[in-house]
């Protein structure tokens, strides 16, 4: 196999572990802490999870562990979208298993949850694993978006596990996947199947976080990858001095990626969806604000700049959010008639005639291409596919129109040319940073420590992450602790609550304190490429978000 020199060197990288996990694995004991409970819907969740609700938090300490050396077969599943470091979670899990008992076997179920449903697996060996250590991607066993959520599926899982004598499953995924892990753990416990379930927190979006999950893996690598690209564009903009770059960044439900990239690169404008929603800001208001910044910089002869836009912004703009809800409901009800329309013009007219007056007014001002994108095929939940809406082009087009109006009124005298970009897939399978390589390896190693403690329904937790790896704290928390009830498919369902950008949090406050200066002046920062070799302050640094959150 042809590999790059960097890839060859990364194979030899030995990820760093928290100090406690560097001990002989048979001298590490799980220590229970206080009982836990969710922040909301306590009684309802207690009724839904009678066996796994209110379990104590767990940390590890030195002591003789007499049960961790028992022979075990473990299954692992990669679930949902890719995130840098997934291979190292599996590497850490594998190494811990073999340290506990060389006869332990790891079954990698292929293609996500469907792998266990179809009994499709790869037996992971040291030889098989070696080319994947410290690399990006999920190609070791593949991933998928199927869900494990019905009793019939759970019974298939149990049957497949028992066939291979698998006594524990590790599910590596985001909020939905770990919700499914919690439900599966409860089911196995209730039915007496004797199969443990442990989760690992993955998502580059950064919206799976709390006090015990300080960051989801992949976020560090993805944001550093995007920040390098943004810095490159900023340097080009500052060199050519003729373009405004509108850059859409991945992150549907939360603006963590956009905020982190703004903290890393100091663009002229960064929109934060949560702030837009809190201020009930309209699309017209957003466009006007951007246009005023463009005009102010034009007064200084700076007819260039950079705007960062969260992928999910449109769903946070009140009138657009309501418009999308109306369209979703309309298409669900009249899909046959809508499908009979011959072309996009007919489809747009069909929808326009059936919208409320308020939504029709909003729909009318949108460019035709955006209207077409709003009417594209829905996702499996019946919702618009936000990633396919070119918000970058929408804002660039509308700002151009507003500036033309301002020019006719004599309030703008600059020139305005735009370039648009979407950074998403570029970051999902990047070579993991040293931080993500270490963190993910620790999560996987830690997941087996939870298995070795005969725990189930827990998520692997490694904290104190702004400090050097040796000072990280390893343990686990019950997944039910992170859950609440939300409306899904017409009924209330238990789900892990998404963590949005906190407008009273230190990262956002820092951004607010500096953004006016960044808007008018050219304060660009050029992070450069991710570094793997050199001083720790360059190679092992964590995100600006985490550093601000944990500033001592």
Do 97 and 104 touch, CB atoms closer than 8 A?
yes
Compute the distance between CA of residue 293 and CA of residue 235 in angstroms, rounded to an integer: 19
- In this predicted structure, the answer to whether residue 217 has a pLDDT above a threshold of 80 is yes
Domain made up of 25-218+432-488: CATH architecture: 3-Layer(aba) Sandwich (3.40)
The three-state secondary structure class of 515 is: helix
| Pair type for strands 166-173 and 196-201 | parallel
- Where is pLDDT greater, at 391 or 383? 391
Do 105 and 94 touch, CB atoms closer than 8 A?
no
Compute the distance between CA of residue 298 and CA of residue 295 in angstroms, rounded to an integer: 5
Kindly state the DSSP code that residue 498 receives in the 8-state scheme.
P
Do 426 and 204 touch, CB atoms closer than 8 A?
no
DSSP alpha helix (H) spans, 125-218 = 126-129, 151-163, 175-191
Spatial neighbors of 523 by CB under 8 A, at least 6 apart, are 266, 517
Q: How far is CA 147 from CA 152, 185, 421, 493, in A?
A: 12, 14, 32, 14
pLDDT value at residue 161: 98
| Ramachandran category for residue 266: left, alpha or beta (phi over 0 → left; psi -120 to 50 → alpha) | left
Compute the distance between CA of residue 83 and CA of residue 432 in angstroms, rounded to an integer: 9
- In this predicted structure, the answer to whether residue 262 has a pLDDT above a threshold of 60 is yes
Instruction: Specify the DSSP element, H or E, that contains 396.
Output: helix 391-408
**pLDDT, mean over the chain:** 95
The residues with which 30 forms a beta bridge, in sequence order, are: 60
Instruction: Specify the DSSP element, H or E, that contains 439.
Output: helix 434-452
Compute the distance between CA of residue 202 and CA of residue 155 in angstroms, rounded to an integer: 26
Do 216 and 209 touch, CB atoms closer than 8 A?
yes
Per-residue model confidence as pLDDT tens digits over 125-170: 999 999 999 999 999 999 999 989 899 999 999 999 999 999 999 9
Boundaries of every domain in the chain: 25-218+432-488, 239-427+505-549
- In this predicted structure, the answer to whether residue 60 has a pLDDT above a threshold of 60 is yes
Is 205 catalytic? The answer is: yes
The three-state secondary structure class of 310 is: strand
- In this predicted structure, the answer to whether residue 401 has a pLDDT above a threshold of 90 is yes
Residue 288 half-sphere exposure toward CB, CA atoms < 13 A: 5
pLDDT value at residue 379: 65
The residues with which 462 forms a beta bridge, in sequence order, are: 474
pLDDT value at residue 483: 95
Burial of 163 (0-12, 13-18, 19+ CB in 10 A): exposed
- In this predicted structure, the answer to whether residue 474 has a pLDDT above a threshold of 60 is yes
The stretch 84-105 carries a mean pLDDT of 98
Compute the distance between CA of residue 456 and CA of residue 199 in angstroms, rounded to an integer: 9
| Lowest-pLDDT range of 191-200, 371-380, 432-441, 515-524 | 371-380
pLDDT value at residue 488: 74
pLDDT value at residue 150: 93
State phi, psi for 255 to the nearest 5 degrees: -105, 25
Per-residue model confidence as pLDDT tens digits over 292-312: 999 999 999 999 999 999 999
pLDDT value at residue 94: 98
State phi, psi for 247 to the nearest 5 degrees: -120, 115
Quote the pTM value. 0.95
Compute the distance between CA of residue 339 and CA of residue 343 in angstroms, rounded to an integer: 10
Which of 95, 146, 176, 205 is an active site residue? 205
DSSP codes of every residue in 60-74: EEES--SSTTS--EE
Domains 25-218+432-488 and 239-427+505-549 agree in fold: yes
User: For residues 188-206, b (16+ Cβ closer than 10 Å) or e, as one string?
Assistant: bbeeebebbbbbbbbbbbb
- The Cα diameter of the chain in Å comes to 80
The three-state secondary structure class of 476 is: strand
Local confidence band at 397 (pLDDT 50, 70, 90 cut-offs) = very high
Compute the distance between CA of residue 474 and CA of residue 478 in angstroms, rounded to an integer: 14
Domain 239-427+505-549: assigned CATH number: 3.40.50.460
Sign of CA dihedral 360, 365, 368, 373: negative
Per-residue model confidence as pLDDT tens digits over 334-351: 889 998 999 999 999 999
**What are the structure tokens assigned to 142, written together?**
């593949």
Local confidence band at 3 (pLDDT 50, 70, 90 cut-offs) = confident
The three-state secondary structure class of 104 is: coil
The stretch 180-201 carries a mean pLDDT of 97
Do 478 and 183 touch, CB atoms closer than 8 A?
no
DSSP alpha helix (H) spans, 272-375 = 273-278, 283-299, 318-333, 335-339, 344-354, 357-365, 368-374
| Lowest-pLDDT range of 40-44, 249-253, 478-482, 516-520 | 249-253
Q: How far is CA 196 from CA 107, 184, 451, 526, in A?
A: 14, 9, 7, 46
Compute the distance between CA of residue 300 and CA of residue 459 in angstroms, rounded to an integer: 52
Question: Which residue, 224, 254, 186, 241, is CA-closest to 430?
Answer: 224
Size (the chain), residues: 552
Local confidence band at 489 (pLDDT 50, 70, 90 cut-offs) = low
Q: What percent of the chain has pLDDT over 90?
A: 88
Do 545 and 507 touch, CB atoms closer than 8 A?
yes
The stretch 241-253 carries a mean pLDDT of 94
Local confidence band at 381 (pLDDT 50, 70, 90 cut-offs) = low
Compute the distance between CA of residue 418 and CA of residue 395 in angstroms, rounded to an integer: 10
Q: What percent of the chain has pLDDT over 70?
A: 98
């Amino acid at each position: 196999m042809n590999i790059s020199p960097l890839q060859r060197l990364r194979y030899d990288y030995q990820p760093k572990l928290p100090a406690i996990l560097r001990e002989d694995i048979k001298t590490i004991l799980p220590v229970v802490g206080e009982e836990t409970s969710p922040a909301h819907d306590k009684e309802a969740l207690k009724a839904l999870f009678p066996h796994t609700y209110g379990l104590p938090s767990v940390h590890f300490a030195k002591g003789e562990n007499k049960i961790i050396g028992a022979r075990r077969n473990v299954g692992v599943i990669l679930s949902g979208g890719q995130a840098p470091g997934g291979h190292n979670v599996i590497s850490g899990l594998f190494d811990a298993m073999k340290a506990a008992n060389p006869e332990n076997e790891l079954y990698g179920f292929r293609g996500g949850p469907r792998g266990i449903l179809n009994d499709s697996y790869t037996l992971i060996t040291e030889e098989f694993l070696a080319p994947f250590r410290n690399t990006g991607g999920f190609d070791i066993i593949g991933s998928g978006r199927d869900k494990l959520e019905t009793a019939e599926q759970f019974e298939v899982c149990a049957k497949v596990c028992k066939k291979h004598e698998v006594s524990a499953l590790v599910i590596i995924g985001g909020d939905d996947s770990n919700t499914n892990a919690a439900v599966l753990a409860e089911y196995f416990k209730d039915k007496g199947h004797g199969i443990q379930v442990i989760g690992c927190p993955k998502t580059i979006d950064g919206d799976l976080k709390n006090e015990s999950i300080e960051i989801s893996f992949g976020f560090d690598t993805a944001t550093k990858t995007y920040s390098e690209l943004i810095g490159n564009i900023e340097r080009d903009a500052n060199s050519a001095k003729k373009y405004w770059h509108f850059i859409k960044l991945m992150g549907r439900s939360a603006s963590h990626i956009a905020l982190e990239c703004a903290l890393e690169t100091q663009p002229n404008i960064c929109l934060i969806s949560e702030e837009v929603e809190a201020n009930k800001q309209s699309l017209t208001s957003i466009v006007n604000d951007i246009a005023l910044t463009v005009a102010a910089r034009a007064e200084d002869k700076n007819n260039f700049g950079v705007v960062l836009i969260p992928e999910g912004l449109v769903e946070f703009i009140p009138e657009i959010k309501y418009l999308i809800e109306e369209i979703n409901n309309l298409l669900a009800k009249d899909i046959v008639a809508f499908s009979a329309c011959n072309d996009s013009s007919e489809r747009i007219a069909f929808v326009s005639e059936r919208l409320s007056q308020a939504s029709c007014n909003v729909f009318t001002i949108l460019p035709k291409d955006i209207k077409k994108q709003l009417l594209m095929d829905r996702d499996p939940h019946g919702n618009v596919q936000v990633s396919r809406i070119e918000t970058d082009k929408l804002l660039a087009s509308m700002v151009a129109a507003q500036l033309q109006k301002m020019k006719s009124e004599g309030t703008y005298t600059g020139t305005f040319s735009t370039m648009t970009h979407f950074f998403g897939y570029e970051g999902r399978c990047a070579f993991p940073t040293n931080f993500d390589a270490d963190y993910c390896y620790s999560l996987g190693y830690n997941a087996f420590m939870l298995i070795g403690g005969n725990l189930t329904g827990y998520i692997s937790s490694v904290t104190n992450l702004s400090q050097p790896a040796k000072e990280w704290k390893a343990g686990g928390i019950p997944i039910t602790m992170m859950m609440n009830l939300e409306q899904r498919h017409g009924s209330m369902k238990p789900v892990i609550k998404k963590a949005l950008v906190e407008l009273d949090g230190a990262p956002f406050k820092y951004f607010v304190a500096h953004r006016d200066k960044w808007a008018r002046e050219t304060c660009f920062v050029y992070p450069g490429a991710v570094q793997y070799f050199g001083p720790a302050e360059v190679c092992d640094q964590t995100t600006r978000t985490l550093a601000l959150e944990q500033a001592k």
